[in-house]
Amino acid sequence: MREPERPPPASIDQSQQAGGINLGAFNQIAQVRIGDVITGDKVTIQIFPLVIYTGSPQPIDPTMQAALLQAYRSEIALRYAVWRRRYATLPLVAQPVAVTPGMGSYYEREELFFRAWRQAHAAADAPDEAPAALTPHTFTDLREGLERYGHMLLLGPPGGGKTTALWRLALDLAEAGLTGDEATPVPVFVRLGGLQSTQTLRDLLAADLAGAAWVDGAGQRFPLDAHRDLVGLLDGLLADGRLVLLWDGLNEVPRSRFLASAQALDDFRRSYPGRMGGRSTTSVTTCRADDHARLLEERRDDPYPVQPVRIEGLDAATMRQVIVGVLGADQGAALLTALDEPAHATLASLARTPLLLTMLCEVYQGAGTLPRNRGQLLQRFVASRWAWEAQRHPEGWLAAEMQERGLAQLAYAITATAGRGTSVSVAWAAEQLRIAKVRSDHAHLLRQAQAADLLEILGDGGQVRFSHQLVQEYFAAVALRTKLHAATRWGNLPVVGGGAQWVLLRQYARPGGRTGWEETLLLLAGLDDDVTVARALIQSFASQPLQAAQLLLADGGVIEPGLREEVQTEALRQLADATIGWQRRHAAGTALGLLGDPRIPVTLAAWQAELAQRSTTFGQPQGYWCFVPAGRYQIGGWDEGESVVTLTLPAFWIARYPITVAQYAAFVAEGYGDAAQHWWTPEGWQWKQQQQRQQPWFWEDARFNGPNQPVIGVSWYEATAFCAWLTERLADMLPAGWTLRLPTEAEWEVAAAYDAQGQRRPYPWGKASLTPELAIYRESGLDRPAPVGCCPAGAAACGALDMVGNVWEWASSRYKAYPGEAAQEGKDFTADNWDVPWRGGSWRDERTNVRCGARGWVRPVGTFIYLGFRVVAAPLVRTDVLNSVF
């Protein structure tokens, strides 16, 4: 490492000293002081032993090459040493969509799924859960993921810890190599935001290494010599499969080159596979989850088909550890208490992302109060950084107003220029400062912004970027706010409905299309206590409920309730409109999940109201309950050779939708404690106690916990306990001898398949072929269940929605007794009894299993991401003697 402004620290050659570190003939050790800010003005100093390479800059000799690699690893360890202490462990989840490294995407067909289950059914030691190939892989160490998948796409929200996860991985790999494990692959970190239109990825890789530098706590840059010298070994290391490529920020490439960049990454991966039968080149690429989802929405094929791994939010224990570690016990406890208050629910959800949690701690430490929303959090964070730097370096300090004006123009220009990434030349940045009329030395302003950790100077000092894309988006929001305020002054136009402002907004808020300003607008909605800008933004998205709902939440709840109700009303209208595309209905359903979905009873009063208004007319439900009349119905006979019987069923009501997360949440609060035993079957309670079960599987996974998504990860035991709990709460509203329970297979089948004329149909809607307009299944392209009821054209004749697709649904009868005893309820099952049926298909299934006749079976302890349940209000039915324990 070269030090440009003062002589380097004294080197100590220990290569031949007894008891010293044997670094070979081409390395020395230097002692480097590292300052790491703990909090406020508290700094800890470490003495770091740095390996310095003294051999040829273009080594050919293997010994010299090995020495260079050790020096490079030492520079990596120095560069990211602070993440040994700062890093917050992130839960990572890989969905089962990829096979062995290098084979691309692969999605299991349901035939393989059921074959696996039948094999497991025949095995005496069958597992409690799904086969490993079908089970999401949860881990916390990216090294484990690399070993298993080879190439990963790390997805998460803004500030979710994607970049720091790469830095921690680089540190772990470097330290493993330094301790003598030479087989450990060599990490190379590359910012994709710096990719220029004329560059290849190989060019970018070399440029990033050649310009790598370490910046100390005083802002001094130290070029990293071993990084530069490693460029000469790149081709050999790639050919030998010795590198782990850490591609950071696919979402930071220019929007116009997003797709091409994803394809280039895939081409690069295939061009440098490593040695056949030997080592393989591996990689981790980071990308914002929303940007990646939109890329897939625009294409039927995945341009970068590697294993997706999703960063989950920090859990409560990790959040507490970080907060108390930064603020101390007393102030940390005060912040945790404040975040538990309902008024701060939005901030509490933001605190699950590492960057925003760090900002929140810093802001709370300085002010002792909480901001209202994310926009104000960024606003206060930036102000605190400026205040800190002004106190540390008052000489030559530029007024915050001037810095804000310059950085706002720079951020606005970067965001507005589709052909640029997030990294720009210093000369271009200086031009933006001139446009902003910054009357100061531009280089000085950039240095002060760097000292405040708002900007980052890259490479040899010729490139600059904001320290985080979220910081860039904040300053772009500041610039946009200024433009919007100016628009309101043109001709004294009113804020809401003003023509000038409306025209301006349409440049950034384009309903139905992506502009690249989405995150900026969310920040803008929360910047001011004056809600006029937020109101105008929300109203500009009147026809796009999801964007409007996100802006409402970004504001922090200050907007008047009437506007919230307008957004809900429009979302309900779109959700019921079968003539618009299913993607728009899905977005409308997601909006209702954010704002509150009035279709679904959650509170006791809402459940009571729905029971009170249930209709007794087939096909004309008044709300949540769909009536199915008594009668004789043909059951079974769907597949060739399958038995068919005619059964007599009493009248019943079936829920219009599967039970949702919001509905189940009330049971989670009451149904898992010591006083809950009477709601569980004896076998179920024993299983719950043995498993120490406190909530469904994946309950805290953001992909599966949308309030109006069907609840998943529930065992049959949990589903039946929920029904018993709900029956007890609503006992006064039910007819004598009636209960709320899981449907038998016969009840489910009749509700799904029969029309008003008593004719049975292959699909709930009739005979028309399956499409994403009619049900949620594999071709819908989702990686999670949809909000319930997104396919109104796919309704059953009785009115029930999602009877096929979205989630499989538990039934209460016995699988092996079908069809003859399909109307008899099984009151309990032993944990090892492979006799519990499920019906209807799911979001992960191919079309062959999304139909009225689709059946599966499993043990009652099965918990899967594609299995939920719905309830019926029905008379108590005769139970099978073998399974009854009552």
Distance CA 140, CA 84 (A): 15
pLDDT at position 885, please?
A: 28
From 462, 453, 478, 315, select the one nearest 385 (Cα to Cα): 453
Q: pTM higher than 0.75, yes or no? A: no
Q: Which two tokens stand for residue 553?
A: 């939440």
From 242, 209, 235, select the one nearest 72 (Cα to Cα): 209
Distance CA 651, CA 629 (A): 4
Cα 832 to Cα 124, 684, 717, distances in angstroms: 9, 12, 13
Backbone angles phi, psi at 53, to 5 degrees: -80, 130
pLDDT digits (tens, 9 = 90+) for 641-678: 899 999 999 999 999 999 999 999 999 999 999 999 99
Task: Calculate mean pLDDT across residues 548-571.
Answer: 81
pLDDT digits (tens, 9 = 90+) for 78-127: 889 888 877 888 888 787 653 333 333 323 333 333 434 344 434 333 33
Task: Classify 686 as helix, strand or coil.
Answer: helix
More confident residue, 649 or 46: 649
| Sole residue written with tokens 């299995």 | 867
Given a cut of 70, whether residue 33 has pLDDT beyond it is: no
CB neighbours of 88 closer than 8 A, spacing ≥ 6?
Answer: 161, 314, 318, 321, 322, 354, 357
Preceding amide of 511 cis, omega within 30: no
pLDDT at position 129, please?
A: 45
Identity of the highest mean pLDDT range in 309-313, 387-391, 717-721: 717-721
Distance CA 738, CA 747 (A): 15
From 726, 664, 724, select the one nearest 697 (Cα to Cα): 664
How many Cα neighbours within 13 Å face the side chain of 174? 28
pLDDT at position 136, please?
A: 73
pLDDT at position 886, please?
A: 25
Given a cut of 50, whether residue 534 has pLDDT beyond it is: yes
Identity of the highest mean pLDDT range in 221-225, 421-425, 616-620: 616-620
How many Cα neighbours within 13 Å face the side chain of 313? 19
Mean residue pLDDT across the chain: 84
pLDDT digits (tens, 9 = 90+) for 279-290: 999 999 999 988
Q: Which two tokens stand for residue 550?
A: 């996100």
pLDDT at position 610, please?
A: 97
The domain at 86-311 falls in which architecture?
3-Layer(aba) Sandwich (3.40)
Distance CA 815, CA 826 (A): 10
Distance CA 800, CA 621 (A): 9
pLDDT at position 16, please?
A: 29
Task: Calculate mean pLDDT across residues 682-701.
Answer: 94
| Sole residue written with tokens 């390996």 | 51
Q: Are 769 and 572 a contacting pair, CB within 8 Å?
A: no
Q: Are 221 and 4 a contacting pair, CB within 8 Å?
A: yes
pLDDT at position 256, please?
A: 81
Q: Which two tokens stand for residue 173?
A: 């790999």
What is the topology classification, in CATH, of domain 609-875? paralog of FGE (formylglycine-generating enzyme) (3.90.1580)
Lowest-pLDDT range of 36-40, 73-77, 604-608: 36-40
What angle separates helix 545-555 from helix 582-595, to the nearest 10 degrees?
Answer: 20
pLDDT at position 44, please?
A: 52
Cα–chain-centroid distance for residue 63? 45
pLDDT at position 127, please?
A: 37
Q: Are 386 and 452 a contacting pair, CB within 8 Å?
A: yes
pLDDT digits (tens, 9 = 90+) for 793-843: 999 999 999 999 999 999 999 999 999 999 999 999 999 999 999 999 999
pLDDT digits (tens, 9 = 90+) for 393-423: 888 889 899 999 999 999 999 988 865 678 8
The length of the chain is: 886
Band of pLDDT at residue 512, cut at 50, 70 and 90:
low
The count of other CB atoms within 10 Å of the CB of residue 63 is 12
Band of pLDDT at residue 26, cut at 50, 70 and 90:
low
From 309, 382, 326, 338, select the one nearest 160 (Cα to Cα): 309
Given a cut of 70, whether residue 593 has pLDDT beyond it is: yes
Enumerate the domain spans of the chain: 11-82, 86-311, 314-369, 371-596, 609-875
pLDDT digits (tens, 9 = 90+) for 745-799: 999 999 999 999 999 999 999 999 999 999 999 999 888 999 999 999 999 999 9
From 771, 753, 781, 655, select the one nearest 711 (Cα to Cα): 655
pLDDT at position 346, please?
A: 79
pLDDT at position 159, please?
A: 87
How many Cα neighbours within 13 Å face the side chain of 6? 4
Distance CA 726, CA 111 (A): 36
Cα 648 to Cα 353, 749, 762, 839, distances in angstroms: 55, 13, 20, 20
* Strands 221-223, 213-215: pairing kind: antiparallel
Task: Give the residue ranges of DSSP H helices in 734-868.
Answer: 745-753
pLDDT at position 548, please?
A: 87
More confident residue, 21 or 655: 655
Alpha-carbon Rg for the chain in angstroms: 30
Q: Percent of the chain having pLDDT more than 90?
A: 55
Band of pLDDT at residue 217, cut at 50, 70 and 90:
low
Band of pLDDT at residue 15, cut at 50, 70 and 90:
very low
Given a cut of 80, whether residue 461 has pLDDT beyond it is: no
CB neighbours of 833 closer than 8 A, spacing ≥ 6?
Answer: 859, 860, 883
pLDDT at position 124, please?
A: 33
Q: Are 537 and 551 a contacting pair, CB within 8 Å?
A: yes
Phi-psi region of 512 (alpha: psi -120 to 50; beta: other; left: phi over 0): left
